[in-house]
Structure formats: structure tokens, C-alpha cells
Amino acid sequence: MICRTPGYARKFRCIADKCRDNCCIGWEIDIDEETGDFYSSVSGSFGKRLKDNIRDGCFVLGENERCPFLNSRDLCDIYITLGEEHLCQICRDHPRYFEWFGDIKEGGIGMSCEEAARLILSSDFSLTETEIPDEGYTDVDSELYPLLLSARSIIIDKLMNCELADSVKYVLEFAEKLQDNIDCGILRLPEVTGTLPSSAPDMRGVFSFYQTLEPISPDWIPALERYSNIAGNAINVVPESDNELRRIAVYFIFRYFMKSVFDGDVLSRVKLAAVSTWMIGKLWQCRMHEKGSCSFEERCLIAKSYSKEIEYCEENIAALAEASYEMACFASSAIAGLF
């Protein structure tokens, strides 16, 4: 079996108590069956602590929704006492994500982690492949999969090597035509003519839609409301932020585009990448307008917050997919106009 990941994913190391956010606070933490069985077998005072703080296959969150095993130094007592190998699966993996396509396993690191965000924003995209032991086989369409793989390579190459606005416009037209081909049962790559129009963008409509999504942090919606009032006056951040935005666009394409092999929906995932890239860039600009600065660290934290709020809520991802077909502000021409 082949495992395919972005090169930067291999550099990831959790920064533990140095993290300004914490993946052990505010999240329901499911315990996989194998780890749960092991925890049940632990004896002594720590075994009792495990049993007292697990209910219905999850850790019982404490005050401020902290994991009961996150100590006062923001370190994990399970890791310290039992070792990394006895963390539950979700804790071992996070922020890593994985998807299986036939005998190919793809994975990376999710931008909802601030250290992952730093790597994503600072690293040019490249793919690495290694052989790993077989982990099962997920059936994929033998004709659609190679088509989508070729399409993704074209999209990523365009985003990496062209000016952001031009590449987004190209990619949106490419996705529109590819979606039409797939819907008609024509499994071939489309020709892009550069005729996608840029209609008047509805910036306020986009911000208004995001305010209807399910928030994770109590600060998220107030920040969107505040920024929506200044977004039209916000200016560019710094020149290098364009490179960072292109890397963010590539991150979303790599993570989500190939899921289309399971449902044939290419267009909504390309729009997710485009709108997310624009939204993160606009939040940077609003921060600059409001505070007078937006450093690299601040840009990473804003990207991390966006990812946490949007990517890690299935309802929000589904709502964006639906809106991409139904709302005028998410029409391809309107998204192109945002850039």
C-alpha cells in the first residue's frame, strides 16, 4: 500500500504546552474500542481515575470543557503515565487526517492546529510517497479516480505557479466544466478557454452566510460581525501573504478534492477551497485594518481559527457545499470577483 502525504506533514511535532490553543479543551474526545478496553484493564489509582472520567466511550470534560487528563501545565497525564502508545486513536492522530482510495492512503495535517498552520503557510507544496503495510481496501471508480487525480494535479500546479486571482478564476472555470463532464458521463479533462466572467462580488452576503454557521468558539461570530462592517475598507496585508494564500488554497484542494470520487461532486469542493482562501485573506486584512498589524504568527492563528470553525464541523462543511450551488454569492463568477 502507498501512503501519499504533503512533504511538510512529516515535519509536524506537537508543541504541547507551548500551544496557545489546545485540542484537549472544548472537544468531545471519543475513545476507540481497543484503547477503551486497555483503560479498563489499568489498575491502581490511575486506573480508578480512568474509570471515573470515562462515560459512554468518551472522556468526561471538566471545568471549561477541559479533558480530565489535561493537567495544570497543559500536558496529558495519560501520555506521562502510560506512554504515547496508550493514547486513544483520535489523540494519537490529531491533527492528522487520512483518506483511503483503493490501495492508496492519503493524509496530511489539519490547519486547525496552530503548529500545522505554521507549516502549511510557510512550506511550498510537494508530495511524498512511501510504502506501508496494507490497511484494507476501499473501492473507488476505476475510471473516475485517475481522472480526478489528473485534475487535482492540474489545479494544484496552477495554484502554485500563477498569480492568485488568475489561478482561482482558471480553477473555477476548470471545475465548472469538469463537473459538467462528470454529470454527463464524459470522463475526460475539460479545456479551459478563460471565458469565466467575474460578476459583482457579494462580500457582505458571504460574511452574512458565515455568521449563520454553527460556531465552536464564542468569539467567532462576534469577530465575523465586527469584520463584516470593515471588510470593504480593509487593505492588503503584506506581499508574502499571497504565497501563503496560495498554499492555503492548495491545502484545501489536496485535502478535499479527491473525496469527489465517492459522490462525483467536484465543484463544491473547489468552491470551498476558493472561498476559504478568500475568507482567510479577508480576515487578515480586517485584522490589519483594526489593529494596524497582522504578523505571520497572527495570520497562522487566524487561519487556524477558520479551519477549526469550518473544517471541524461536519454541519458547516455540508452547509457550504449546499450554498455553493444555491446562493448567488457563491456562484463561480461571484467568487472570481472576490479576488
Band (238; pLDDT cuts 50, 70, 90)? confident
Count of alpha carbons within 13 angstroms of residue 107, beta-carbon side: 17
The residue out of 93, 110, 127 marking a domain boundary is: 93
pLDDT, tens digit (0-9, with 9 covering 90-100), for 37-72: 999 999 999 999 999 999 989 999 988 889 999 998
Instruction: State the CB neighbour count (10 A cutoff) for residue 88.
Output: 22
Q: Is pLDDT at 222 greater than 90 in this prediction?
A: yes
Residue 113: per-residue pLDDT: 94
C-alpha closest to that of 271 among 289, 249, 242: 249
pLDDT, tens digit (0-9, with 9 covering 90-100), for 107-153: 999 999 999 999 999 999 999 999 999 887 789 999 999 999 999 99
- Residue 321 and residue 199 share a domain: yes
- Residue 46 and residue 177 share a domain: no
Q: What does the pLDDT average to over 175-191?
A: 96
Residue 18 included in any domain: no
CA 196/CA 176 separation, integer angstroms: 9
pTM of the shown model: 0.91
Burial (CB count within 10 angstroms: exposed 0-12, middle 13-18, buried 19+), residue 218: exposed
The whole domain housing 307 covers 144-338
- Residue 271 and residue 162 share a domain: yes
Cell of 15: 508543541
Based on the structure, what is the number of domains in the chain?
2
Residue 40 included in any domain: yes
- Residue 154 and residue 78 share a domain: no
Residue 169 included in any domain: yes
When the pLDDT of each residue in the chain is averaged and rounded to a whole number, the result is 93
- Residue 318 and residue 217 share a domain: yes
Q: What backbone torsions phi and psi does residue 144 show, to the nearest 5 degrees?
A: -70, -40
- Check if the beta carbon of residue 331 is closer than 8 Å to that of residue 278: no
Identify the three-state secondary structure at position 219. coil
Residue 119 included in any domain: no
pLDDT, tens digit (0-9, with 9 covering 90-100), for 286-326: 999 999 999 999 999 999 999 999 998 999 999 999 999 99
Which span out of 152-156, 235-239, 310-314 was modeled with the highest average pLDDT? Answer: 152-156
